[in-house]
Amino acid sequence: MILFANAKLNIGLQVIAKRTDGYHELNSVFYPLPIYDIIELLDTTVAETTLNIQGERIPGNLRDNLCIRAFELLEKDYGIPPVSIDLIKQIPIGAGLGGGSADASFVLKGLNTLFQLNLTEEQLAGYAAKLGADCPFFIANNPVFATGIGTDFKDLTLNLDGYHIAVIMPNIHISTAEAYAGVQPKVPEVNLEEAIRLPIQEWKFHIRNDFEDGIFENYPLLKEIKETLYQKGAIYASMSGSGAAIYGIFWEKTDLSALAKYGKIYHPTKL
């Protein structure tokens, strides 16, 4: 079974409050982004589930990878046999694009189909929530207004198919801890759920990512990339999540080859 796990964009990100459990209350819009990791799930006769990765290097112990943990959740409850997981990693790491969360959620969905577990989207989202805050989004994989710690969703009518999106990923990796150290939680001045319904050309006046101030101070190159995207004609530009990817939304396909000096350029196509 071959799966194509897509990334996501954050359009706006408001850090509202720090909770007693260490998490933060957030508001954000999650939007599916057609940059893909490729996952192959194979039933196997080996004694233990294996994970083989090509492409982007993923740091850490493979046994701690979210794909393995996703398998272990379903194995515990349903006794499914070991599988071989082959992952071609193309979504950049440490980008704020949710690649690791996407991989885990697509493994859950793939195992559900492979072993005919007949789990509902709601059940799969429950398992995904045990893996990480972004993971449940990738179960239904539709645009949502996200609240709480990023696991409470309200369906959102938002379609960017008529626009062109570019993502710039510099050689900068920002840890979640570093990102939160530079942000001060506060009650938002703008109602993001209402602002996202404004014409897209008005977004830059109302929709912002609260992580940008602190991160741009530490990494001025990221601010420069955002400003350059606007100079090139972006209708809206922002950092996604806690970075370091910066994206621009354009009316039409635009030559951004000059931005290659900043890092890798992604031109997503439709989902």
Q: Which residues are marked as active site?
A: 8, 134
The residues, any chain, with a CB within 8 Å of residue 189's CB and separated by 6 or more, are none
Phi, psi of 221 (to 5 degrees): -60, -35
Give the DSSP letter of residue 65. S
How far, in Å, CA of 207 to CA of 191, rounded?
9
Beta-sheet pairing, 24-43 with 50-55: unpaired
3-state SS, residue 96: coil
Task: Answer for the pair 250, 237: CB distance below 8 angstroms, yes or no.
Answer: no
How far, in Å, CA of 194 to CA of 105, rounded?
29
How far, in Å, CA of 36 to CA of 89, rounded?
8
Query: Which of 101, 122, 103, 120 is closest to 112 using CA atoms?
Result: 120
Sign of the torsion angle spanned by Cα atoms 43, 46, 51, 52: negative
